């Protein structure tokens, strides 16, 4: 029986960004230099496929430093850590390797600079996200106010003639963040922002590609993890820009073919921590059921590469059995 024709509009850019690739490479190189185990505080990036592969090579993922034994290296994830975490690693004499995305580190420096200048600082982001926790932890507790919703702006107990500084999580919806910034600016005319917006180029580009595709497809699938901020924002952006059925999937095994029955146009993208291998896996699964025509919709070229930090030369004793 002939297969049904399906046009897949494939977003570009999509998938792993330079910060994610850098963090993964840091773990791989640490494993090569020191041997297993290498400990990683939190998921190096929010993608189970990536984490499971690194775990199979000898990476051990932990929630906190008290789970890291003495005498082994520990890597801080791409989301960054608070100063207290870095200080605890130093106090214990752990060899810490910082895989924080350079664009997250930029936000850290901004928040510190504004705090040192004596400005009230607000951070637009999602409570509990590792990146937000790390950013809040760059200054004394309570020094930065977290804003998640428009009503949080209205509730700020600050004089409206104050010079107020703001920063944002790097993986937010561009449109929602802009709305909050506009609300802040209307309430605090002396608002001070970053010289270049904090939402990273990869997040912005992937959202722009989804905006271009969403009105032209009957359904759209975002490959990513449930705890990935940028992946969830892509689903929201697709729904907000005309796609009637936008959903998050982890990969080919998560494809909901019953929901896709009868459609002729499907949008496909991947969050910034999802490798291209997962995209190709989804396309292969679709080809097993449909006659697939792929139309790539490209809105930007990405050439950013982040340099790797030097790994210390120190050798580590083998872990005890």
User: Which residues are part of the catalytic machinery?
Assistant: 131
- CA gyration radius, the chain: 21
In the 8-state DSSP scheme, what is residue 215?
G
Give the chain's count of helices (H) and strands (E): 11, 12
Q: CA–CA separation, 103 vs 106, rounded Å?
A: 5
**Strand stretches in 24-98, DSSP E:** 38-41, 59-62, 73-76, 95-98
Q: Can you say how many angstroms the Cα of residue 155 is from the centroid of all Cα atoms in its chain? A: 28
Nearest to 261 by CA among 285, 287, 290: 290
Which position has the token pair 């890597």? 75
Q: CA–CA separation, 267 vs 80, rounded Å?
A: 32
Half-sphere exposure of 93 (CA within 13 A, CB side): 5
């Amino acid at each position: 029986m002939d297969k049904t024709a399906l046009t897949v509009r494939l977003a570009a850019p999509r998938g792993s960004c330079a910060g994610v690739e850098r963090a993964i490479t840091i773990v791989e190189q640490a494993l090569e230099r020191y041997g297993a185990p290498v400990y990683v505080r939190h998921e190096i990036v929010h993608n189970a496929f990536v984490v499971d592969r690194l775990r199979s090579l000898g990476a051990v993922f932990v929630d906190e430093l008290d789970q890291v034994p003495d005498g082994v290296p520990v890597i801080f994830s791409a989301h960054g850590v608070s100063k207290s975490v870095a200080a605890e690693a130093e106090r214990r004499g752990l060899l810490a390797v910082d895989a924080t995305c350079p664009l997250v580190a930029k936000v850290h420096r901004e928040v510190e600079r504004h705090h040192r200048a004596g400005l009230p600082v607000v951070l637009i982001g999602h409570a509990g996200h590792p990146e937000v926790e790390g950013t809040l932890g760059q200054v004394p507790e309570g020094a930065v106010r977290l804003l998640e919703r428009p009503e949080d702006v209205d509730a700020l107990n600050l004089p409206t003639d104050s010079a107020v500084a703001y920063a944002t999580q790097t993986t937010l919806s561009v449109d929602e963040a802009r709305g909050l910034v506009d609300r802040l600016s209307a309430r605090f005319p002396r608002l001070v922002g970053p010289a270049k917006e904090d939402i990273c180029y990869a997040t912005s580009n992937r959202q722009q590609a989804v905006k271009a595709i969403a009105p032209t497809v009957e359904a759209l699938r975002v490959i990513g993890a449930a705890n990935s901020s940028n992946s969830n924002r892509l689903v929201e952006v697709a729904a907000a820009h005309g796609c009637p059925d936008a959903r998050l999937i982890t990969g080919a095994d998560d494809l909901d073919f019953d929901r896709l029955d009868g459609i002729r146009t499907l949008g496909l993208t991947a969050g910034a921590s999802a490798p291209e291998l997962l995209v190709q896996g989804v396309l292969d699964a679709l080809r097993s059921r449909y006659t697939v025509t792929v139309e790539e919709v490209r809105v930007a070229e990405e050439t950013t590469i982040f340099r790797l930090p030097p790994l210390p030369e120190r050798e580590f004793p083998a872990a005890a059995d």
